[in-house]
Structure 1
Amino acid sequence: MGLFFKRAAVFAAAALALVPLSLAAGAAHAETGTVRLAKQFGISYLPMTVMEELNLIEKQASAKGFALKTEWLRFTGGSGMNEALISGNLDIAAGGVGPMLTIWARTRGNLKVKGIAALNAMPLYLVSVNPNVKTIKDFTSADKIALPAVKTSIQAVTLQMAAEQAFGAGQQNKLDSLTVSMGHPDAQLTMMGGKSEVTAHFGSSPFQELELKDPRAHKVLDSYQVLGGPHTFNVIWTTEKFATENPKALAAVLAALEEANALIRKDPAAMAALWIKAEGSKMSVDEAVAIIKAPENEWTTTPKKVLSYLDYMHRAGLVGATTKDWKDIFFPAIHGAPGG
């Protein structure tokens, strides 16, 4: 446990650096007693589930000498989370890099939303049940591609990047007309049901692995191929106001996230069983463990290739701002992450 508390101290110091001197005294009295967090569906949110089920945020706060409660919400996409964050109904959102970069760019002059940390690095698979679709060039108007949110989800952005690579400059939107917004559970059921025009699903774990167990399904695209290597899939983000007014709470959240990832790496079977029970999943522990331990999946808070996504999104007009330094996109508490 010493490592957790040592990292927590580093996070606390970094988070405190966010507070302007003129606000320091007031911010000390403004710390929230409850943090409202949101997550989405899938095993990629395992660190959040571990934090929730084992009360790790409350535990880390208690270790620092203060009480902190949590409220957990569930969304099917990052755009809904961003709306809740902007309206003040949510403190910390969790989702793909795409929605986080979108709200970062849009709020630079007001709420100044930034990333807190990564949750993982995981590949995303575009899976199809259409035997005629071997590559994305084979999709026709008869196909529909389900993904969490058209235009803004990390899957949608990755598909545009792949389209540009496959069809040439200026062709990044070639497949947009085929995409439909759908949560992963519904997308899996719809595609595998075989009774709709949805013939493909750009999803995430464990949906993509479960789909590929069916002989009708096959992988068309891998996001690691598009990005040229491992990239961050999920991140957590918040507003500058929350980070500034709640440095102790932010430090507790980060320390809890580090602890959750360490537990996942140390005892994947126990964490798999915990996730299956919490989610009511029909997966076996062995199936979940196989995903957790897959060499391409990294349980790390270090951001990876976030700028690759931002560069494309800015060039394609999806966001109105860009930067060459990933630290501009994340709050200081994670700036010292190894390999960031």
Structure 2
Amino acid sequence: MPRLDTRPWSRQAAAFVTAIGLLGSSLAAHAEGQLRIAEQFGIVYLLLNVAQDQKLIEKRAKAAGVDAKVEWVKLSGGPAVNDALLSGNIEIAGAGVGPLLTLWDRTKGKQNVKGVASLGNFPYYLVSNNPNVKTIADFTDKDRIALPAVGVSVQSRVLQLASAKLWGDKEFAKLDKISVALPHPDAAAAIIKGGTEITGHFGNPPFQEQELAGNPNAHIVLNSYEVLGGPASATVLYATEKFRNENPKTYQAFIDGLNDAAQFVTANPDKAADIYIRVSNAKIDRDLLLKIIKSPEVQFKTTPQNTFQLAEFMHRVGAIKNKPASVKDYFFDDAQNAAGN
């Protein structure tokens, strides 16, 4: 059985992180050089891991005459990330396209939250250890599907889109009732071990690959690329308009550092794998990790791709009130987003 990428996680820990953030935000207002970044679990955050390890953001900021202090906050689920951003505990949020669209819609005309960049294209798999489940139509009330946040996370939104395509828009939330919120490491452990109420997990790399390798009954039920019609940016970064406008040097240093990280990973996959293991304290087979990083289905780039179909769907079913005309509505007008879709 492969070593599972598990790290300690608890509600107490989450509360502690939030409390620390609240304290920090009460002591200091936004200022050039202050940058608190929220990330979650998985290889989809590799660009942030590399930027942290190589201090790429700090280097870019220094070149611009800014002494940057970068802090990294680990959270689980879009709602927790969105709450942290709106409460001023972080400047950059890392989560799925679903949470971005939700917050863009709710803050339009107010905080005006928009996307900053993509973290790359990754296929997300809905994996089940129930041999009777071949498609999403085979799930029953006895099954439970784990994902980061029910009805909000990008995994949940993709599952809703797949449900709408199968049963019609009126039934888009059909599988929400058997979905449960669970951090990826815990959900992966449940799928590999078996014997729990969790029989499905809509995850991300490397957890989905660990499940497939660790349980002979584990198999792919749904691939996000198939639902979205091709490679897509599932995980993105976003911020408030206020932070972007009032901290132009810090904001640009972050983007430049992120692009540097994308170039680093593409040119040095082996070094990037070691960085992921070191920064994330991940217990994972290195060969499996390298296989994921080098997969032709995975692309490390900052330009968002194939996000608009999900945005259109969310508006169509009433998940967001504002109808975006294009990706430019919910991503900032920056160079890395110019060719986004």
Q: How far apart, in 2, do the equivalents of 1:111 and 1:174 lie?
A: 32
Q: Cα distance, 1:120 vs. partner?
A: 0.6
Q: Alpha-carbon deviations, 1:72-101, whole Å to 9, x = none? A: 100011110110111111111001100011
Match of 2:226 in 1: 225
Q: Secondary structure at the match of 1:99?
A: helix
- Give the distance between the partners of 1:167 and 1:337, measured in 2 at CA: 35
Once the two structures are overlaid, the 10-residue window that deviates more, 51-60 or 186-195, is: 186-195
1:335 is displaced (CA, Å) by: 5.6
Contact 2:134-2:221 at 8 Å conserved across structures: yes
Structure 2 equivalent of residue 275 of structure 1: 276
Provide the C-alpha distance between the structure 1 equivalents of 2:134 and 2:161, rounded to a whole number of angstroms.
Answer: 18
User: d(CA) in 2 for partners of 1:255 and 1:285?
Assistant: 28
Give the equivalent residue in structure 2 for 1:6: none
Distance (whole Å) between structure 1 residues aligned to residue 67 and residue 282 of structure 2 = 32
Instruction: Letter of the 2:99 partner, please give it.
Output: P
Shift of 1:132: 0.2
The amino acid of 2:168's aligned partner reads: G
Give the TM-score normalised by the residue count of structure 1: 0.89
Tell me the equivalent position of 1:292: 293
Report what 2:6 is aligned to: none
Superposition pairs of residues 232-271 of structure 1, within 5 angstroms: 232-271=233-272
Q: Which runs of 5+ in 1 are unaligned?
A: 1-29
Structure 2 residue aligned with 1:212: 212
The one-letter code of the counterpart of 2:274 is A
CA distance in 2, matches of 1:159, 1:291: 23
Contact 1:301-1:337 within 8 A present in 2 as well:
no
Q: Is the counterpart of residue 188 in structure 1 residue 188 in structure 2?
A: yes
CA RMSD of aligned residues (A): 1.4
The amino acid that maps onto 1:276 is I
Matching of residues 25-104 of structure 1 within 5 Å: 31-104=31-104
Aligned length: 312
CA distance in 2, matches of 1:336, 1:173: 31
Structure-2 separation of matches of 1:43 and 1:275: 7
Give the SS at the match of 2:238.
Answer: strand
Q: Would you say the 8 A contact 2:144–2:199 is kept in 1?
A: yes
What residue in structure 2 maps to residue 16 of structure 1? none
Give me the whole-angstrom Cα distance separating, in 2, the residues matched to 1:102 and 1:174: 20
Q: In the aligned structure 2, how far is the partner of 1:238 from the partner of 1:225?
A: 29
**Percent identical across equivalent pairs?**
45
Describe the shift of the 1:42–1:336 C-alpha distance in structure 2 as closer, same or farther (beyond 3 A). closer
SS of 2:170's equivalent in the other structure is coil
Q: Which amino acid aligns with 2:184?
A: H
Distance 1:308 1:296 in 2: 19
Give the residue type in structure 1 aligned to 2:78.
G
1:116 aligns to what SS in structure 2? strand
Inter-partner Cα distance in structure 2 for 1:141 and 1:197: 10
Within 5 Å, give how 1:123-202 maps onto structure 2: 123-202=123-202
Cα distance change, pair 197–336 in 1 and its aligned pair in 2 (3 A):
closer
Looking at structure 2, the residues matched to 260 and 173 of structure 1 have their Cα atoms a distance apart, in angstroms, of: 37
Separation (CA, whole Å) in 2 of partners of 1:202 and 1:94: 18
TM-score with structure 2 length normalisation? 0.89
Q: Which consecutive aligned stretches of 4+ in structure 1 deviate over 6 angstroms post-superposition?
A: none
Query: Match of 1:328?
Result: 329
Task: Tell me the distance in 2 between the aligned counterparts of 1:102 and 1:207.
Answer: 25
Segments of 5+ residues of structure 2 without an aligned counterpart are 1-29
Secondary structure in 1 matching 2:334: helix
Question: For the Cα contact (< 8 Å) 1:327–1:335, is it kept in 2?
Answer: no
Secondary structure of the residue that 1:146 maps to in structure 2? strand
Cα distance between partner residues in 1 of 2:75 and 2:340: 30
- Partner of 1:137: helix, strand, or coil? helix
